[in-house]
Chains A and B, each alone.
Chain A
Amino acid sequence: MTSPVIECRQLVQIYRVESSEIMALQGLDLTVDRGEMLGIVGASGSGKSTLLTVLSGLLQPTGGRVRVDGHDLNSFSKRELDRYRQRDLGFIWQETGRNLVPYLSAIDNVALPLRLAGQAKGRSRAREILDMVGLGDRMDHRPNALSGGEQQRVALAVALAHQPVLLLADEPTGELDTDATAEMFALMRTIGNESGVSQVIVSHDRDLTSFVDRVVMIRDGRVATEQRQGVSTSSHRAIAPQTTTVLLVDGVGRLQLPPEHAEALGITDRVQADLVGDAIEIRRADPPAKYDPSATEKQGTDD
């Protein structure tokens, strides 16, 4: 069995904004296998983008451990982080205009990181990868002459040109229409299958589920649930056919109940968990009884 490409353990990320602190990641655990295409969903502010930023080495986590391709990112120096991003990592951001250098043509954009990394055949590789993303006939156009979808495909080419082990994409289809989104995800799926690159894609798009191997939902800085392709059993409402949602238990045994379940049972802050055969039954716990001194006295008198 090969080692996972990403291993996050108890990741904590705290931002300081003015005088207050925001806990973006609260002990997040995540493992991504080699060649796997993982989707990450979650509400705004749940910590999705922060996780990607940590995985890209652009942000040093406040706590916890993160390993990518067997390397402990926490132990990397700045120079090593630069090298990691240059060799092992590809990245696509949401804003189409921000993935590319505006005054360079598509082919030059793709070739630039390769050439800056000292690769002599950067241009031929760029041509090759642009052909692969279907922009062979648009490679001499500058970003402002390309549509949003085309720009993101160029960004994909830039991210994959140096054959990274991991591709991170933060809302890569955020500015694209439905067709372009589907096209983009399909392209990423195809490339993932062909190149074996591991991919982590953050998206709000519901279509994502049908293209990725697995989708995890992050809530309050932790992975809450997971949906896997091809698992037919579902303990509760499925997001898409052929998928099932499972709750994830972190390293210290914590799990997050789906909000709709908690709401349905009126669970607020306490549950009762009973081991029943090979299952755990979780039910609402009664609130603790109020302290009644007279009752204590009565009990004493009775004794």
Chain B
Amino acid sequence: MIALRLLAGCELTLRRLRANWALPFATLVAMTTLVGIWAGLPLYAEAASKRLLAAEVEGSAAERVPFGYLFSYNRLSGGPKPWENLSPVDRFLFGDDAPFGSTVRASSRLIETQQFQLVRPVGNSGDDAEPIARFSLTSTGVFDDAVEIVSGRAAVASTSSLTNGIEVVLEQSIADELGLRAGERLSLVNPRAAADDPVRVFDVTLTGTWALTDQTEGASSPPEGRFARVPTVRNSLVVPEATMLQVIDPGIADAVANAQWLVLLEASSVGIGEVDRLVARTSQINRTVDELVPGTRLLASPEVPLRRYQQRVVSLERGLAAYSLPLLVLVLAVVALLIGSAVSTRRPELALLRSRGVSAQQVVVVGAFEALVLALIAALLGLLLARYVARLIGTTETFLRFGSDISLDLAFTPRVLQAAAIAGVVLVFLQVTPLIAASRPTRVETARSRGALRAPWWQRSYIDLAIIVLVGFFTWWAIGKDALTGDLLDDPVVILLPAANAVAAGLVVLRVFPVAMGILAKAAERSSATSLLLASRQTARVRGATAAPVLLLVVTGSLAIYTGSLARTLDLQVLDAAHHRVGAAKVLDDNGIVSFASWRIVDGSPRPPAQPATNRYATTAELSRVWGLESSSRLAKTPASLELPGGDTAGLGFIGIDPASFNGLAFWRDDYASASLATLMARLAATPDGVLAPSRVLRQQGLSIGDEITIRLSGESRTSTFRAVIVGEFEQFPTWYPATDLAPLVGDLSDAEARVGPLGERLLLVETNDDIRDQSQYRVDLDRLGVSTDGPASPETLVQTAQERPERQGVFGLLTLSFLVSAACSIFGFVFYAIRGFRRQVTELGVLRALGLKSRGLLSMVGFDLLFVALTGLVVAVGVGVAMSRWLLPRLISTPSGSAPALLEEIDWLAALTITTGLFAALLVVGTLLLARLRRLELFRAIKLGATQ
């Protein structure tokens, strides 16, 4: 019977979904969006994490710490041993049942004997021979892949006795130093062997010399070649592993002095969820190895990179979770709104079923089935959407700008699936909860509750006022703290606080809105504008109905503008910081032209001069002849000091520039100085010995523009003290970092060079022809003038480096997503309100039409209603969004002390325009649709339809 009941419920659900698909479809879209964002974040975080781990592993290679295990047995801890005594460790680490719990990429062992004396071939005792050097014999598995044979050939493995001799190879430079050549036959003497030991002396053939391949020397070398780089191997006679195990170890007692085992793991297969397990396994492996061969030590393990990786991932995920909170809450609110509306639509049907004896539980079970079906579909579609969300975040270059390439490996890991499942459960809960309430009333209770137009419960219980006060307090507390100067992810209050403020603003509006509408209605009573009167009365009366759209409009609109402003501000900051650091769009190192004439030839070889060369720097005329160079401006820095009254000095820097060309090329912002750059440059050019000074130096020294100061300037070759006039002041100057640099005076470079010769650090700000076809000619010309084209990193490179950081990419991706979703929610909320409002008003419209109100009047009434909501929402949203961007943003986030340039808040007017345009477009579309509907709607039907709503 229960099965039959369930089946009936399921059938009812499916029929209803088929018949009334619009609202469930909208709900499904919103729910899919929610799951998409919910699951998309861990999907992105996991993929970004893998990139982080790869970065960690690459970093490890450079630091010579592999992502894997390195165990070492040293004779100092347990004395030399035969290989047999060490083989338990070997079998444990390299056996089929590898204990590592992750894919092993490569493994290798290193076996080193005690030292022998290398001598020229002698008799059996070898005592009378003069040792060439002391060497151990070493074998390592991956040797051949990591080195190249420079002369001769590789050693061949020996399988016979030691007395027959063995083949070895030696590192090239050591061979050269010792004067050994490939093919030479030598002897090794074991000083610890007894005199009558047949292998006290045995022959070795140096078959070749080796050197590390270029690849193995580089930072990006594969860690497998690590053993080839260790000093042990470079200072040994290297033998094939078979020779070591089959000839040397059996032939010499306690042959092995040192042994190392390297196991490299595959980093790409390690998920963040496996870190703890792998770290725990490290301890276990270490204990086992120590038990098998006491004294074996763990030199390197994946623990450090794994822990660092885990820390970054946790930080990334926490930050993203916090940043996504407003977005998720927003989408949740939309989902709740739609579900509430769907349940409200179903109330009559539920009440009918209840009145026919269907129990509340049965109603809920049937509703739960529908919830389950929708949540399941949303979860599945959401997972697909999650890929797009993760891709969108992963391709975000900056706010609302995406790259085409994504270097993220997006995989539906258990954590992502778990996130989707949790989102699904939340959605079921969200759908069933209002249903539980709606399942209780019967027809009688439903009819009785209809028409109640009270304020929402949270207003009646003053919860909104409590929220407003709380948000106010936290805002006051947060802006009292130091503004955020570090990583955005470290302090999500940057997004959470404005979100809370947006909600608070929305709640204030909801209190004021009905009052304002009431006042408007009173005013309209005195006029002949019937539609205006009716609309304002209606809007003032139905508080609950307008609450959701107004709140949604205010919150989403203001949040969209704020997130846009935040993103643009941060974006601009990155761009400005890069340009400030570099000084211009393109900067080259001016190394100067070295005077080769001063070099001498001694014994046929060039030798540097006894005295240092005096460099000459390219002149403006010479630079103007460089192929493809449109314009250039020189900039040089040197130490200086300001002589103060009383004989004291204040340490300063000096930046020399070409005033004539600096203006067109240097990076400059209006907040750098109160006067324009052109004005400052003109003053510099017009005043001999004029300098610009930082405002704070002027304040500290009690100086002002027009004052004369005494400067001591140090050039490359000499110093000079002279009087200068302050012709202007600045707050910030390109390339100057108050945190690390002394405050600089800025003066004419030519004047300075005339006084003290060339200045030390020289840069060339350049502008090139965009269409330089012959790059080589450009380089040759510049090289000839001593200008390096491999100069400081370009602003674009710095920006790109900053933009590629997963943390920043994640934040900007989320901000972009938040903006897009917020804007969409604003418009959706409005359209939703318009349609629902129309359905709610349809009876009233019918009655008004019957009373003689013309179609145009009806339309005006509906239009006014929509306009009140749209305008209120829009005006408040833009006002709050701009206020938060202007007032909160600079208080929540600022440049680190001493960093430059200062953060400039950028209001995202485009966001405001987008929302305004979108809303008015929606207003137009909805208005047209409603007009068409009104025209089609017959009077009796309007009233009848209203009666059955």
Q: Mark B1-43, 1 if CB is under 8 A from A, else 0.
A: 1101101110110011011100000000000000000000000
Contacts of B597 in A (CB 8 A): none
Contact A98 B4 (CB under 8 A): no
Contact A82 B947 (CB under 8 A): no
Q: Is B852 an interface residue (CB 8 A)?
A: no
Given A116-B5, A116-B8, A120-B4, do A97 and B355 touch, yes or no (CB 8 Å)? no
Q: Mark A36-57, 1 if CB is under 8 A from B, else 0.
A: 0000000000000000010010
Contact A116 B353 (CB under 8 A): yes
Contact A82 B357 (CB under 8 A): yes
Report the minimal beta-carbon distance from A110 to chain B, rounded to whole angstroms. Answer: 11
Q: Is A273 an interface residue (CB 8 A)?
A: no
Report the minimal beta-carbon distance from B452 to chain A, rounded to whole angstroms. Answer: 11
Cα A59 to Cα B447 with chains together (Å): 13
Cα A266 to Cα B349 with chains together (Å): 51
Which A71-94 residues have C-beta < 8 A from chain B? 78-79, 82-87, 89, 91, 93
Contact B357 A99 (CB under 8 A): no
Contact B4 A119 (CB under 8 A): yes
Report the nearest A residue to B18, measured CB to CB: A103
Report the nearest B residue to A88, measured CB to CB: B357
Q: Mark B796-834, 1 if CB is under 8 A from A, else 0.
A: 000000000000000000000000000000000000000
Q: Is B358 an interface residue (CB 8 A)?
A: yes
Give the contacting residue for A89; candidates B2, B18, B357; CB below 8 A.
B357
Contacts of A86 in B (CB 8 A): 356-358
Contact A118 B5 (CB under 8 A): yes
Contacts of B354 in A (CB 8 A): 82
Report the nearest B residue to A85, measured CB to CB: B357
Contact B356 A91 (CB under 8 A): yes
Contact B7 A98 (CB under 8 A): no
Q: Is B187 an interface residue (CB 8 A)?
A: no
Which A102-145 residues have C-beta < 8 A from chain B? 102-104, 108, 112-113, 115-120, 122
Contacts of B356 in A (CB 8 A): 85-86, 91, 113, 158
Q: Is A58 an interface residue (CB 8 A)?
A: yes
Contact B355 A115 (CB under 8 A): no
Contacts of B348 in A (CB 8 A): 98
Q: Which one of A78, A91, A112 has the highest number of Cβ atoms from chain B below 10 Å of its Cβ?
A: A112
Contacts of B124 in A (CB 8 A): none
Give the contacting residue for B5; candidates A84, A93, A117; CB below 8 A.
A117
Contact A108 B443 (CB under 8 A): no
Cα A83 to Cα B11 with chains together (Å): 22
Cα A95 to Cα B5 with chains together (Å): 27
Cα A79 to Cα B359 with chains together (Å): 7
Q: Is B431 an interface residue (CB 8 A)?
A: no
Give the contacting residue for A103; candidates B2, B20, B355, B445; CB below 8 A.
B20
Contacts of B601 in A (CB 8 A): none
Interface size on A, residues (CB 8 A): 35
Contacts of B443 in A (CB 8 A): 58, 93, 98
Q: Is A101 an interface residue (CB 8 A)?
A: yes
Contact A98 B358 (CB under 8 A): no
Report the minimal beta-carbon distance from B686 to chain A, rounded to whole angstroms. Answer: 85
Report the minimal beta-carbon distance from B352 to chain A, rounded to whole angstroms. Answer: 7
Report the nearest B residue to A54, measured CB to CB: B444
Q: Is B663 an interface residue (CB 8 A)?
A: no
Report the minimal beta-carbon distance from B446 to chain A, rounded to whole angstroms. Answer: 10
Which B909-949 residues have C-beta < 8 A from chain A? 947-948
Which B342-380 residues have C-beta < 8 A from chain A? 348-349, 352-360, 362
Q: Is B442 an interface residue (CB 8 A)?
A: yes
Contact B4 A112 (CB under 8 A): no
Q: Which one of B2, B5, B16, B352 has the highest number of Cβ atoms from chain A below 10 Å of its Cβ?
A: B352
Contacts of A99 in B (CB 8 A): 352
Contacts of B352 in A (CB 8 A): 98-101
Cα A291 to Cα B360 with chains together (Å): 63
Contact A85 B8 (CB under 8 A): no
Cα A271 to Cα B360 with chains together (Å): 52
Contact A116 B362 (CB under 8 A): yes
Which B438-461 residues have C-beta < 8 A from chain A? 442-445
Contact A116 B358 (CB under 8 A): yes
Given A98-B352, A118-B2, A118-B5, do A112 and B12 touch, yes or no (CB 8 Å)? yes
Cα A131 to Cα B4 with chains together (Å): 24
Report the nearest A residue to B945, measured CB to CB: A97
Cα A157 to Cα B352 with chains together (Å): 15
Q: Mark A137-156, 1 if CB is under 8 A from B, else 0.
A: 00000000000000000000
Contacts of B19 in A (CB 8 A): 102-103
Contact B16 A82 (CB under 8 A): no
Cα A85 to Cα B354 with chains together (Å): 9
Contacts of A119 in B (CB 8 A): 4
Contacts of B16 in A (CB 8 A): 103
Contacts of A108 in B (CB 8 A): 15
Cα A118 to Cα B352 with chains together (Å): 18
Report the nearest A residue to B947, measured CB to CB: A95
Report the minimal beta-carbon distance from B612 to chain A, rounded to whole angstroms. Answer: 95
Report the minimal beta-carbon distance from A93 to chain B, rounded to whole angstroms. Answer: 7
Contacts of A59 in B (CB 8 A): 444
Contacts of A113 in B (CB 8 A): 353, 356-358
Report the nearest A residue to B348, measured CB to CB: A98
Report the minimal beta-carbon distance from A28 to chain B, rounded to whole angstroms. Answer: 18
Contacts of A116 in B (CB 8 A): 5, 8-9, 12, 353, 358, 362
Given A98-B948, A115-B4, A117-B5, do A85 and B444 touch, yes or no (CB 8 Å)? no
Give the contacting residue for B8; candidates A91, A102, A112; CB below 8 A.
A112
Given A97-B948, A103-B19, A108-B15, do A117 and B349 touch, yes or no (CB 8 Å)? no
Report the minimal beta-carbon distance from B367 to chain A, rounded to whole angstroms. Answer: 13
Cα A79 to Cα B349 with chains together (Å): 20
Cα A249 to Cα B445 with chains together (Å): 33
Given A58-B444, A103-B19, A103-B20, do A118 and B359 touch, yes or no (CB 8 Å)? no
Contact B358 A82 (CB under 8 A): yes
Report the minimal beta-carbon distance from A65 to chain B, rounded to whole angstroms. Answer: 20
Contact B15 A104 (CB under 8 A): yes
Contact B359 A56 (CB under 8 A): no
Contact A115 B7 (CB under 8 A): yes
Contact B7 A83 (CB under 8 A): no
Cα A122 to Cα B8 with chains together (Å): 10
Report the nearest B residue to A119, measured CB to CB: B4
Report the nearest A residue to B20, measured CB to CB: A103
Contacts of A91 in B (CB 8 A): 355-356
Report the minimal beta-carbon distance from B441 to chain A, rounded to whole angstroms. Answer: 10
Report the minimal beta-carbon distance from A239 to chain B, rounded to whole angstroms. Answer: 30
Contact A115 B15 (CB under 8 A): no
Report the nearest A residue to B444, measured CB to CB: A58
Cα A238 to Cα B445 with chains together (Å): 38
Cα A120 to Cα B1 with chains together (Å): 8
Contacts of B12 in A (CB 8 A): 101, 104, 112, 116
Contact B8 A115 (CB under 8 A): yes
Q: Which one of A82, A86, A120 has the highest number of Cβ atoms from chain B below 10 Å of its Cβ?
A: A82
Report the minimal beta-carbon distance from A88 to chain B, rounded to whole angstroms. Answer: 9
Contact A53 B444 (CB under 8 A): yes
Contacts of B357 in A (CB 8 A): 82-87, 89, 113, 117
Cα A100 to Cα B443 with chains together (Å): 13
Query: What are 26 A-B pairs with beta-carbon distances under 8 A?
Result: A53-B444, A56-B355, A82-B354, A84-B357, A85-B355, A85-B356, A86-B356, A86-B358, A89-B357, A91-B355, A93-B443, A95-B948, A98-B948, A103-B19, A112-B8, A112-B12, A113-B356, A113-B357, A115-B5, A115-B7, A115-B11, A116-B9, A117-B357, A118-B2, A118-B5, A122-B8
- What 10 A-B pairs have minimum CB-CB distances, sorted nearest first? A86-B357, A103-B19, A85-B357, A115-B8, A118-B1, A97-B948, A82-B359, A58-B444, A58-B442, A118-B4
A91-B355, A116-B9, A117-B357 given; name 8 further pairs at CB < 8 Å. Answer: A53-B444, A58-B444, A79-B359, A82-B358, A97-B948, A115-B8, A116-B5, A116-B12
CB within 8 Å of A: which residues of B? Answer: 1-2, 4-5, 7-9, 11-12, 15-16, 18-20, 348-349, 352-360, 362, 442-445, 947-948
